Structure 1
Amino acid sequence: MFPIIKWASMALTATLLAACGGGDGASELVLPDANTLCSSVGVKPKIINGADCVQPESSPVVLVLSLGSEGQTQSCTGTMLTPTRVLTAAHCMLSGTQRMAVVQWQTNGNSALVYATAWVAHPGYTTNGDGLQNDAGVITLKSAMSNPTMPLLVSSTSTKGDEVFIAGWGDPGQSLAVGYARITKVTESHLGYVYKGQASNTCAGDSGGPAYRSAGGPVGIVGVTSSGSVDGCGDGDNSLFTNIQTPRVLDFIRAQAPGLAEI
C-alpha cells in the first residue's frame, strides 16, 4: 500500500495529536501528565490534563505552510534547528510549491508569516520501499525567528523500546499539541510503531514534526514525522518517522543547517 503522508490542506489550518495512541510492548505505556508533555517543548498546557499546549511562541515546534501555484495551501510541522533553519519532511515541499512560510506567533495571540528564501528536500527522497525514504527537508527563512531551537540527538542510538515525545500542528486539535509513544521499529530509514489506541499518534498536519527524547539531559530530535498506513490515523496505523541518525540523513541536515546544535 502506498504510504499515507501526514500533511493537511488548509482553509485556516494548524493541528495535531493529543492522547490518540500508539505502541507495542510488554508493559502498558503510561502517558505523562499535561505539564510534562507541554514542558518538553517549552510551553504550558491549555487545559488541565490536556495535551494541547499554549504559548506556541515559546516552542521550537512551528507551523509550516506550503503555498502552491493554484492558490492551495498545505500545512505541515517543523522544528527550529537555528533561528533561520527549520527541519521538516521532504514531502512537505513537493513539486508545485511556489512559496513556503513559517508562522511566527506573538504573546498576544497574533501571528505573522516569515517567508522562506529557500527550501531543500533530501536528494534521495523517494516513495519507493517501506514508507517514504529520506523524508527530510530544511527550510531557510528570510529573517530570524524568536522561537527557541531544538538540537539533534546523536549521542544515544535509537532502539526498540525507546519512549519518545511527538509534537505537531495536526489533526484533530488544530493547535500545537504534544503526545507520547513507544518505538517498536528501528531501521536505518525509520523509527516507528503501530498505533493500538494507547498513548499518542501523529495525524494530518503533523508531517515534518519531531519525535524527540532525552538521553539523560535536554531533549533532542531523533525522528521526523513522515507517513502512516491508515486514513484518519486510527487503530492499526503503522506510523513512521524518518530516522535522523542514519548518516545519509544526518549529513544532509548538517549541511543544510550550519550552526545547529547536537547532543
Structure 2
Amino acid sequence: MFTLVVIVVTAVLAGASPSGPPKVIVGGSPADTDTYPWAVALSSRATYGSARSGQFCGGTVIAPTKVLTAAHCMFDENGKRVDRPDLAVLQGRTDLRTTKGREVAVTGVYVNPRFEQSAIDGDWAVLTLADALDTDSAPIVAQGADVYAEGSAATVIGWGDTTGNGDYSSTLRQVTVPLISDTTCRTAYPGGPYGQYDPAGMVCAGERQGGKDACSADSGGPLLLDGTLAGIVSWGDGCAQARKPGVYTRVAAFARDIREAAGL
C-alpha cells in the first residue's frame, strides 16, 4: 500500500533510497503458491538487494506473458517513474529465500495513462514478460460488475510487512477482510495528507477495529472475491489501524482497459 508510513518502511526494505512505495499482510496466515499459482512477486535485486529475492511489490498473472500490478509500484515517492533494468517476476516461489519456481524478466511496462500519482487514482499497470509462464491465469471481474457488496469476504495475499513495523515476510501470506461501504471509506479518507477515497475507481476492505490488512510490499497484489480478481492492493493510512481500512483499485472500473492493455 501507498502511505507516508509505507514510504519510510520501503527505505528499510531496500537498504537504499525509496524507489517505489510498496504495501505485507498483517494479521494473516501462511499461504502457498500451489494454491495461488498466478500470484507473483516483483523483484529488483539491484534496488532492494538479494534478501527475499529482491521482492518489493506483488502482481497477478492474467495471461501467460502478462502480469497485473499497481501503477505506483513503478514510481518513487516524488512521482518520478523508476527504471529498473533487472525488473522480474517470481512465480511459484512461496518462500523468497529459495530459488524455487521461475524468475522471468519484464520486457515492457504499460502504466494506466490516466493514473494520478498524487491521488493514487487509476492505480494499475500491466507488465509484459520475456517468456510465457506455464500456469493458470487469474480470472478478472467483468467491466462494471456489481460485486462489491458491503461485508463480502475478500482475500488478500502477499509477501509484505506482517506487523506494520518493517517485519517483512519471506513467505507468502493471506488474510480475509470484509469489504467496507463507500460511505465509511469516504469518512476514513476525506482528503488531506492521507488521501481521498473515490468509489469510482477504488474499494475499501478491512476490520473496523483494525488488526488485519495489507501492508508495505503487498502493493500490486490481488484482492479476491470468490476466487476472482476484483482489486489491487493500492494505499491506505498505515497498516491494520482501526477505522483506516486498506484501499484497493476497483478492477471492475478498469477491466475493459486492462484487458485491452494485456491483449485479452
TM-score, normalised with respect to structure 2: 0.70
Higher deviation after alignment, 53-62 or 102-111: 102-111
Q: Is 1:184 paired with 2:189?
A: no
Residue in 2 aligned with 1:133? Answer: 121
* Structure-to-structure mapping, 1:35-50, within 5 angstroms: none
Structure 2: runs of 5 or more not aligned: 16-21, 76-80, 163-168, 183-198
Q: Give CA-to-partner distance per residue, 1:142-197, whole Å, 9 cap, x none.
A: 00112321011225432222221111121123321111111113411111035444
* Greater helix content: 2
Q: Is 1:120 paired with 2:106?
A: no
Residue in 1 aligned with 2:218? Answer: 206
* Other structure's SS at 2:150 match: coil
Residue in 2 aligned with 1:39? Answer: none
Q: Is 1:158 paired with 2:148?
A: yes
Read off the aligned partner of 1:252 and give its amino acid letter.
D
> Aligned partners of 1:4 and 1:61: how far apart in 2?
26
Residue in 2 aligned with 1:221? Answer: 229
Equivalent position to 1:258, from 242, 260, 263: 263
Equivalent position to 2:72, from 75, 91, 99: 91
Q: For residue 125 of structure 1, report the CA deviation from its aligned partner.
A: 1.0
Q: Root-mean-square deviation (CA), in Å?
A: 3.2
Read off the aligned partner of 1:117 and give its amino acid letter.
T
> Aligned partners of 1:91 and 1:192: how far apart in 2?
17
Q: Is 1:104 paired with 2:91?
A: yes
1:192/1:17 Cα in 2 relative to 1: closer, same or farther (>3 Å)?
Answer: same
Q: Is 1:65 paired with 2:43?
A: yes
Residue in 2 aligned with 1:29? Answer: none
> Aligned partners of 1:5 and 1:226: how far apart in 2?
14
Q: Is 1:242 paired with 2:246?
A: no
Q: Percent identity?
A: 23
Q: For residue 4 of structure 1, report the CA deviation from its aligned partner.
A: 4.2
> Aligned partners of 1:199 and 1:69: how far apart in 2?
30
Q: For residue 90 of structure 1, report the CA deviation from its aligned partner.
A: 0.1
TM-score, normalised with respect to structure 1: 0.71
* Greater strand content: 1
* Other structure's SS at 1:188 match: coil
